[in-house]
Amino acid sequence: MSVTVTRTYLTLPTLTALVPGRRDVDARLVHIAPCPVDQWRALYRQIGAAWHWHDRDLWDQGRMQAHLERADVRIYQAVNDSAPAATDPLGFLELERHRDGSVEIAYLGLDHRALGCGLGAWLVTEAARTAFAWGATRVWLHTCTLDSPAALPNYLARGFSIDKTETYEATLSS
């Protein structure tokens, strides 16, 4: 099935522009370093399958490993310490630092079990804080109409502003 998708690019220029989400969540970010390819792929599938994340499906093991070993890429998972399986990821975050000093939130998402619990606002807040603590000159990302309907409003509520939008055709597999 072919669909028209709108991609929206957003920027957070400074940490002071961040409008924090909830702080009363029982979750924390865990930096996975080094991140094994199999673990990254499992997180990518678990978190992204519902939102049609497929752009890295064709990356072979070597290309994916080289990407994950770059000093300018950091992988995090969100975990709930009070859950029965405290290491079971509730969310996933990939940050990538670019030559201009900006940090891109390349991937950010929640497991379906964590949707609607206020964790999205917390995860975006923590992603931005982590990126600025890493030395970002600005933080940016893109989302699209295949993403959760709550994603764009959440980014805007956190202080991100829209830089540009574009449309493209995508073929969705069932």
Quick one: pLDDT band at residue 23, thresholds 50, 70, 90?
confident
3-state helix, strand, coil in the chain (%, to 5): 30, 30, 40
d(CA 135, CA 47): 27
The better pLDDT of the pair 171, 9 is held by 9
Query: 76-127 pLDDT, tens per residue?
Result: 999 887 655 555 788 899 999 999 999 999 999 988 776 777 788 999 999 9
Cα–chain-centroid distance for residue 68?
A: 15
Domain 2-171 in CATH 3.40.630.30: yes
Q: Whole-number mean pLDDT of the chain? A: 90
User: Of 34-38, 49-53, 124-128, 134-138, where does mean pLDDT reach its minimum?
Assistant: 49-53
Answer whether residue 9 shows pLDDT above 80: yes
Quick one: pLDDT band at residue 22, thresholds 50, 70, 90?
confident
Taking the model in full, what pTM does it have?
0.92
Give the per-residue pLDDT at 170.
82
In angstroms and rounded to an integer, the radius of gyration of the C-alpha atoms of the chain is 16
Give the per-residue pLDDT at 25.
78
Give the per-residue pLDDT at 19.
97
